[in-house]
Amino acid sequence: MEILEKVAYLKGLAEGLGLDTEKREGKILSVMIDVLEDMALEIRDMQEEQADLEEGLDAVSDDLSEVESYLYEEDEDEEEDDEEDEDGPVYETTCPNCEEELFFDEDVLDDGCVVCPNCGEKLEFDLEDLSQEDDGEDEE
Ligand SMILES: [Zn+2]
């Protein structure tokens, strides 16, 4: 039985037993029952508010989980990208125009040319010369 029901039962009991509210004890008991009823109503309201808060908190928690998983996936992607960068061979050459040192990876090598970031000179590679060391990849 909930508190509110117990208080209602107590109230009915007092009335049923003919509590004399004109006497001092009866008057005090009557006021006490009223106070109990108010408290029971307040507790019920607080429980309802708390249930609403928990619902809201669950919604926020779910949203947060989505954000976390999104961020976590982003991190994983970045780590994979980093690893790819580290694995890829980095080549070095010197710009014949301005003598700036250039670093580039295999992707640039596949294109056959690289543009000097310093002077804008377009450098072309002879792929056969550069890939001589890696010969023996035609085994498919
Ligand atoms: Zn240059």
| Ligand 1 centroid from CA 89, angstroms | 22
| Ligand 1 centroid from CA 96, angstroms | 7
Phi, psi of 127 (to 5 degrees): -60, -35
| Ligand 1 centroid from CA 97, angstroms | 5
Q: Residue range 100-119: average pLDDT?
A: 82
pTM beyond cutoff 0.85: no
Tokens representing 118? 């310093």
pLDDT exceeding 70 applies to what percent of the chain? Answer: 78
pLDDT digits over 66-86, tens only? Answer: 999 988 887 666 655 555 555
| Ligand 1 centroid from CA 82, angstroms | 27
Give dist(CA 77, CA 86) in Å, integer.
Answer: 14
Reported as a pLDDT band with limits 50, 70 and 90, residue 137 is low
Give ion ligand 1 contacts, CB < 5 A: 95, 97-98, 100, 116, 118-119, 121
| Ligand 1 centroid from CA 108, angstroms | 16
Give the mean pLDDT of the chain. 82
| Ligand 1 centroid from CA 115, angstroms | 8
Q: Higher model confidence: residue 127 or residue 43?
A: 43
Contacts of 23 (CB under 8 A, 6+ apart): none
pLDDT digits over 20-63, tens only? Answer: 888 999 999 999 999 999 999 999 999 999 999 999 999 999 99
| DSSP category for residue 35 | H
Contacts of 3 (CB under 8 A, 6+ apart): 39, 40, 43, 44
| Ligand 1 centroid from CA 127, angstroms | 20
